[in-house]
């Protein structure tokens, strides 16, 4: 069990018999009253984010979710299929379970699948991944590396990323999968 002081951003807790991840938290104490914890928590099964305030002496159950390495295979209808590289067992997750992370998957990619009570509930991607630019409009003459302007570019996974004007078709770039932003050339 965790006291409110031990709950940090990124912690996984059990709330209403479901696994939640703390997306944001702020501890505060008001006058003579007890300490409170304001937080935004994300339901790891449905993906719903809620604002929740926990009162002073509440105890929260910490969860240790199981993670296993899998390889992304393909998408069919609304299911995405993954394979365990050791046992070759295949499992599937729905697009709703994966959410926006789907935009950064490509065939053969190794990812971690998060399990809760032996059921797959989500995936964890590496933070930085290299992708090839499939299509982007050409840059305008005079644009330099110091330019702060951006343009849309389609990457090999199919997602659209804002890149600097000097990036061209066929180049490899590194993308932050948490927010979909361009980081640097690969």
Residue 114: band (very low, low, confident or very high) from pLDDT cuts 50, 70, 90: confident
33 and 51 share a domain?
yes
pLDDT higher than threshold 70 for residue 144: no
pLDDT higher than threshold 80 for residue 66: yes
132 and 174 share a domain?
yes
Q: Give how many domains the chain has, as a whole number.
A: 3
Residue 139 vs residue 52, higher pLDDT: 52
Q: What is the pTM of this model?
A: 0.73
User: Which of 24, 47, 62 corresponds to the end of one domain?
Assistant: 62
Mean pLDDT of the chain: 86
Decide: residue 131, CB within 10 A, 0-12 exposed, 13-18 middle, 19+ buried.
Answer: buried
78 and 119 share a domain?
yes
38 and 26 share a domain?
yes
Which whole-number Å values give the CA distances from 165 to 36, 137, 153, 157, in the listed order? 47, 9, 10, 20
> Which percentage of the chain shows pLDDT scores above 70?
95
pLDDT higher than threshold 80 for residue 71: yes
Give the domain range for residue 159: 128-185
Bridge partners of 152, per DSSP, are 162
User: Which of 62, 83, 102 corresponds to the end of one domain?
Assistant: 62
CATH classification at residue 112: 2.40.50.140
User: Which of 124, 149, 165 corresponds to the end of one domain?
Assistant: 124
Per-residue pLDDT tens over the stretch 5-56: 888 887 888 888 888 888 888 888 777 777 888 899 988 877 788 999 888 7
């Amino acid at each position: 069990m965790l006291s409110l002081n031990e709950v940090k951003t990124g912690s996984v807790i059990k709330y209403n018999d479901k696994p939640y991840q703390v997306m944001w938290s702020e501890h505060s104490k008001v006058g003579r009253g007890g300490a409170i914890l304001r937080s935004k928590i994300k339901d790891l099964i449905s993906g719903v984010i809620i604002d929740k305030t926990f009162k002073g002496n509440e105890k929260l159950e910490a969860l240790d979710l199981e993670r296993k390495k899998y390889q992304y295979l393909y998408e069919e209808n609304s299911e995405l299929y993954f394979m365990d590289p050791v046992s070759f067992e295949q499992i599937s997750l729905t697009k709703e379970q994966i959410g926006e992370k789907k935009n950064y998957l490509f065939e053969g990619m190794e990812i971690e699948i998060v399990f809760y009570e032996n059921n797959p509930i989500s995936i964890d991607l590496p933070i930085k991944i290299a992708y090839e630019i499939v299509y982007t409009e050409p840059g305008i003459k005079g644009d330099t590396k110091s330019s702060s302007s951006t343009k849309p570019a389609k990457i090999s996974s199919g997602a659209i990323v804002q890149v600097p004007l000097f990036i061209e078709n066929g180049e490899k770039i590194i993308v932050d999968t948490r927010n979909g932003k361009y980081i640097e050339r690969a």
